[in-house]
Amino acid sequence: MLLENQHPDNKSLMAAIVGAPNVGKSSLVNYLLGMDLSIVTSKPQTTRNKFHAVFTVDHTEVVLVDTPGLHKASQELNKRINQQAVEGVDGVDVNLLLIDLTKDILGQIKDFKEYIGGKELSKTWLVFTKSDRVENAEALPLDKVFEQAKEVIPSIERFFCISTKAGDNVHLLTAALCDEAKPGSHYYLDGAISNKSQRFFATEYIREQAFELLKDELPYEMAVVIDEYKDFKDKTGAFAAHISASILVNRPSQRAIVVGSKGTMIKEIGMRARKKIAAMTDGTVHLNLHVKVSPKWFKNNFVLEELGLPRATNSARVWKKR
């Protein structure tokens, strides 16, 4: 719902950030916001829930919809994660379809088309990412690729070639997004940065640290739930929070790994996550972390709902295996 009584110069735009896992969607969201809001790791399928991330330039508000990467999914958890991504394009003004320049470009475009099914797409801009990883990115025949891409997805209108790591060309994308904004009310109050709560981001930051510190398949069999979240003003009037959270794992052997020898691993995850939550809240944070064995949590509707992942509705059409 839009806000009322707005400044007459206000403009707004909603843009979905979509694409395959690990192409740099959350990195772009963070770059545009100017802060590490969305979690970024070197592993695919880090982002599991779609959410809004908001930035404003003068009177122009841009609402970005960060989404999980679309991927082949046969497990219930992955179907629900994909559903989050597919829903991300609903009702937006622009889709930014991110394409990793270091991988098969046309393959990513065709995959996106397949995952999205018959869905009507708003105007779509291709954003080629990680240009810093390609030698002489300016010399790439991106005009030609762009023409081929339009044959696959007719709503594609223009393209950008960026690197969030090197900061290359992101300003062109920012300017284009602001130019595209239409006069009208903002969706969010001044200063708001997301539709998700600090409590949500607290679980994300715990999971982010665990993802980075733990190897192999373990991160995919792990989730974080909050057991208790109390925030208050301390004696000096500053923000403080007491958080108890559990890392859910599938098997007892995984619990032992997450706890680590003499509890060193869980301590490290907790220390890093606490720092990041404290930075987000600009306050003092006490974080109590536990590891719980919750066999097959990723098939449990109750747990998945609690993780903000409701059942996928159109699974038959979109999730067929290729």
Ligand X SMILES: Nc1nc2c(ncn2[C@@H]2O[C@H](COP(=O)(O)OP(=O)(O)O)[C@@H](O)[C@H]2O)c(=O)[nH]1
Instruction: With beta carbons less than 8 A apart as the criterion, state whether 123 and 95 touch.
Output: yes
Partner from ligand X, Mg ion, none binding residue 250, C-beta < 5-8 Å depending on class? none
Amino acid at the residue 49 = N
Both tokens assigned to 187: 């969706």
Residue 258 interacts with ligand X (CB under 6 A): yes or no:
no
Residue 21 interacts with ligand X (CB under 6 A): yes or no:
yes
Gyration radius of the chain's alpha carbons? 20
Where in 99-128 is the site for Mg ion (CB under 5 A)? none
Residue 165 interacts with ligand X (CB under 6 A): yes or no:
yes
Instruction: With beta carbons less than 8 A apart as the criterion, state whether 124 and 158 touch.
Output: no
Where in 110-139 is the site for ligand X (CB under 6 A)? 129-130, 132-133
Helix (H) or strand (E) holding 157: strand 156-161
Q: Which residue is nearest to ligand X (CB)?
A: 24
The contacts of residue 104 (CB under 8 Å, 6+ apart) are none
Taking CB under 6 A as the binding criterion, the range among 87-95, 150-158, 161-169, 287-295 that sits at the site for ligand X is 161-169
Residue 40 interacts with ligand X (CB under 6 A): yes or no:
yes
Cβ distance to ligand X smaller for residue 99 or 241 = 99
Residue 26 interacts with Mg ion (CB under 5 A): yes or no:
yes
Secondary structure letter of residue 236 according to DSSP: T
Could you identify the residue written with the tokens 């958080």?
A: 243
CA separation for the pair 310, 320 (Å, rounded): 19
**Residue 173 Cα distances to 180, 182, 257, angstroms:** 10, 16, 42
Taking CB under 6 A as the binding criterion, the range among 163-171, 179-187, 208-216, 278-286 that sits at the site for ligand X is 163-171
Q: What is the nearest approach in angstroms of ligand X to the Cβ of residue 290?
A: 26
Q: What is the nearest approach in angstroms of ligand X to the Cβ of residue 275?
A: 19
Query: Which parts of this chain interact with ligand X (CB under 6 A)?
Result: 21-27, 40-42, 46-47, 69, 129-130, 132-133, 163-165
